[in-house]
Structure 1
Amino acid sequence: MLNSDLVALGGLALSAFLAATLLPGGSEAVFAGVLALRPELSFAALVTATLANTAGGMSTYLLGRLLPRKEATPRLAAVRRWGSLALVLSWVPLIGDALCAAAGVLRLNWIACLAWMALGKGLRYAAIAWALA
C-alpha cells in the first residue's frame, strides 16, 4: 500500500469517526471521493469507513453511558422498546447520534449495540458504493 493510499484512508477514517460523534459533519462525500479517485481502494475504504464510523458511534454510546441514569422519557422509551436493534438506524442524520447516546443512557449491552451499529453503518456505505459503481 502506498503512502498516498494510507493518507486517503486515514482522512476517510477521521472523517467517518468525527461524523459519527456529536460534532456536525458527514463522511459520505469523503467516502465517495475516495471511491472516485482510488477505485482500487473500494473494499479498504468500505471497511475503514464502517469501522471508524462505528467507533465514533460507540464513543457517543460511551458518553451516554457516563451520564447519570434517569427515568425513561418518552424519547428513551422507543429505544428501550426496540433495544440494541434500534442502532441499525444509527447512520441516519440527526437521530443516529441520539440513538447511540440513548443506548448508552439505557445501559444496553455494548456488544449487541456495536454489532447492530456496525451492520447499519456498513450497509449505508455499501449502498453508497453500489450507487456509485
Structure 2
Amino acid sequence: MTESTPSEPTPEDGEPASFAETAKTWVKKHKTKIGVVGAAVGLAVVGVAARLSERQAAEDNEDYESTSGSVDARQPREPSVLHVVIDHLRTLPDGQHASEERRAAYKDATGEDLPTGQTHVSGTSRGGSPEEDEAPHGAAA
C-alpha cells in the first residue's frame, strides 16, 4: 500500500522509509521555505497584536474624553447637586468578611445581624459645590 514517490529516496534494503525518516528528509529539503513561512506567520501575528493593541488604546482614550472638551476628563466628575446616599449592604468578594465595626453599625441601625458575605455601608452626602462643603451646617446660602 505504501509506495515510495520519486522524490523520496528508497532505503538500500528496499523497505519503505519510516514516517520519522521521511519527515526528517522532507524538513531538510524544505528548510528554507519553512523558515520563510514561519517568519511570515510571525510577522502576521505581531501585526494583528499591534492592531488590537492600538484599537484597545483608542477605546481607552475614548472612555476619558470629555463631552464638553473643556474639562480634564481624567478628573472625576463631581455631581452639581448635593444628594444623600442611603445606608446599604455591599456583597464582599469571596474570602472577605465584614469588620466588627461594620457588624455593630448594622446591628445598631437595623437590630439584625449582618448577613454573611456582606458589609454595611453607612449613608453619606455627595455632590454640591465646594462652598456648600465649607459652609457651617444650618447656615443659609
TM over 0.5: no
Highest relative contact order (Cα 8 Å, sep 6+), 1 or 2?
1
Which one has the largest radius of gyration? 2
Say which structure is richer in helix: 1
Structure number having the greater strand percentage? 2
Query: Which of the five TM-score ranges fits, normalised by the shorter chain?
Result: under 0.3
- TM-score (norm: length of structure 1): 0.24
